[in-house]
């Protein structure tokens, strides 16, 4: 069961040093994400300046780029890292895909399923020289020549993880993904009772084994040596929860745990720009469900227990490693996780 870190936004020149620290701290892998910066560029630095640390995107927005562009970049990162790459994809939401990326969003679950099939078809051509022949409902790959073919690499099997919350996207992950990226707005019960049955339903459509799909659970955390530190971190977590809960995509999770009545009011506050009022609407019980509290090896053991309860294969804390954090602090968490 792997223990990963999130790569905080950094200047590219600083990623190499930071990634080496993560390796020293005992992390198994590091995840970049698509926000204000490209999610792939930092992973090149991480790959070239570590020897064991896994690298991956959690997530790159699939619909922001063509399947060929994604396949090409992931292939190069896999080669550069010696086989340590995980391609984590997500669909984002309609407004951002259409109005920020200026791309198509219709039928996102079916579209991303075809997208992943197309990416794999491109990799197969790279590795074997097989003639391209993917003709899907949304994407096609039917043309290439030697000038554009990246060619074979030593580790051609690149795991693809798909992020999701609601049933339809979980089912898509079951159909085509090697792993499932849970959202920090999760619980072990939600993973077991909502996510896993849909993974199994999707896997059954293609005669796959859902038990082979690795689940990654990033988890909110409140930690700190002083009450002031813990209080500040709790408020930050409440703000994050309120932001996610204001988005319709997460209402299924809220309803599952009996908090469906806060979704629309939070959305209204978001539309009005009353961001400081939003964390006040988050019930303590919801914070407790999605958050771990503790420090050091104790926290690592709690995270491991959560992983086991969810039936997951890897975990991370939804909290960036600070450059001020001593290596020993995160090593203690990693040691507690791996010992539990």
% of the chain exceeding 90 in pLDDT: 95
Per-residue model confidence (pLDDT) at position 9: 81
Q: Reduced to 3 states, what is the DSSP secondary structure of residue 218?
A: strand
Q: How many helices (H) and strands (E) does the chain have?
A: 14, 12
What's the mean pLDDT when you consider all of the chain?
A: 96
Per-residue model confidence (pLDDT) at position 108: 97
DSSP labels, 21-65: HHHHHT-SEEEE--SSS-SSHHHHHHHHT-SS-EEEES-EEGGGS
The model's pLDDT over 215-228, given as tens digits with 9 standing for 90+, comes to 999 999 999 989 99
Per-residue model confidence (pLDDT) at position 42: 96
| Distance, CA of 212 to CA of 192 (rounded, Å) | 15
CB burial readout 166-194, b (16+ within 10 A) else e:
bbebbbbbbbbbbbbbbbbbbbbebbeeb
- Element containing residue 86 per DSSP (H, E): strand 85-90
| Distance, CA of 159 to CA of 156 (rounded, Å) | 10
CA nearest to 335, candidates 300, 293, 303, 289: 300
The region of weakest confidence among 12-16, 169-173, 197-201 is: 12-16
Q: Reduced to 3 states, what is the DSSP secondary structure of residue 213?
A: coil
Over residues 28-51, the mean pLDDT reads: 96
CA–CA distance from 90 to each of 86, 108, 191, 244, 315 (Å)? 13, 10, 18, 15, 18
Indicate whether 323 pLDDT > 90: no
Per-residue model confidence (pLDDT) at position 324: 86
Q: Reduced to 3 states, what is the DSSP secondary structure of residue 96?
A: helix
pLDDT band at 11 (very low <50, low <70, confident <90, very high): confident
Which residues, 6 or more positions from 4, have their beta carbon under 8 angstroms from its beta carbon? 27, 28, 29, 30, 31, 54, 216, 314, 315, 316
pLDDT band at 322 (very low <50, low <70, confident <90, very high): confident
Indicate whether 141 pLDDT > 90: yes
Question: The tokens of 121 are what?
Answer: 């078809």
Over residues 29-50, the mean pLDDT reads: 95
Question: The tokens of 31 are what?
Answer: 């995840």
Contacts 24+ apart (CB under 8 A), 259-266: 259/283, 259/285, 259/286, 262/286, 266/242
Over residues 254-273, the mean pLDDT reads: 97
Spatial contact of 318 and 5, defined as CB atoms under 8 Å apart: no
The residues with which 166 forms a beta bridge, in sequence order, are none
Indicate whether 150 pLDDT > 90: yes
CA angle 75, 79, 85 (to 5 degrees): 70
CA nearest to 89, candidates 241, 216, 244, 240: 216
| Distance, CA of 228 to CA of 278 (rounded, Å) | 21
Strands 291-293 and 140-141: unpaired
| Distance, CA of 270 to CA of 246 (rounded, Å) | 7
Give helix 12-25 / helix 41-48 axis angle, nearest 10°.
50
pLDDT band at 159 (very low <50, low <70, confident <90, very high): very high
């Amino acid at each position: 069961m792997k223990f990963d870190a999130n790569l905080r936004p950094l200047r590219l020149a600083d990623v190499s040093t930071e990634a080496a620290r993560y390796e020293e701290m005992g992390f198994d892998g590091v995840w970049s994400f698509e926000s204000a910066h490209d999610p792939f560029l930092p992973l090149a630095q991480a790959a070239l300046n570590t020897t064991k640390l896994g690298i991956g995107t959690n997530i790159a927005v699939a619909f922001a780029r063509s399947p060929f562009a994604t396949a090409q970049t992931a292939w190069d990162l896999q080669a550069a890292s010696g086989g340590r790459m995980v391609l984590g994809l997500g669909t984002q939401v309609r407004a951002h895909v259409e109005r920020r990326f200026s791309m198509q969003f219709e039928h996102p679950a079916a579209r991303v399923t075809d997208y992943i099939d197309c990416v794999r078809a491109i990799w197969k051509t790279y590795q074997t020289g097989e003639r391209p022949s993917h003709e899907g409902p949304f994407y096609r790959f039917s043309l290439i020549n030697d000038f554009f073919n990246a060619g074979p690499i030593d580790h051609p099997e690149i795991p693809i993880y798909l992020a999701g919350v609601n049933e339809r996207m979980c089912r898509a992950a079951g159909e085509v993904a090697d792993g499932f990226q849970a959202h920090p707005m999760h619980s072990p019960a939600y993973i077991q009772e909502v996510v896993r049955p849909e993974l199994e339903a999707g896997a059954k459509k293609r005669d796959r084994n859902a038990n082979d799909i690795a689940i990654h659970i990033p988890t909110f955390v409140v930690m700190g040596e002083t009450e002031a530190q813990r209080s500040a971190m709790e408020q930050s977590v409440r703000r994050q929860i309120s932001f996610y809960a204001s988005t319709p995509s997460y209402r299924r999770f809220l309803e599952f745990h009996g908090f469906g009545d806060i979704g629309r009011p939070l959305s209204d506050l978001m539309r009005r720009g009353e961001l400081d009022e939003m964390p006040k609407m988050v019930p303590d019980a919801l914070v407790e469900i999605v958050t771990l509290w503790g420090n050091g090896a104790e926290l690592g053991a709690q995270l491991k227990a959560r992983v086991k309860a969810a039936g997951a294969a890897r975990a991370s804390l939804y909290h960036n490693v600070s450059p001020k954090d001593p290596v020993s602090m995160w090593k203690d968490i990693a040691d507690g996780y791996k010992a539990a």
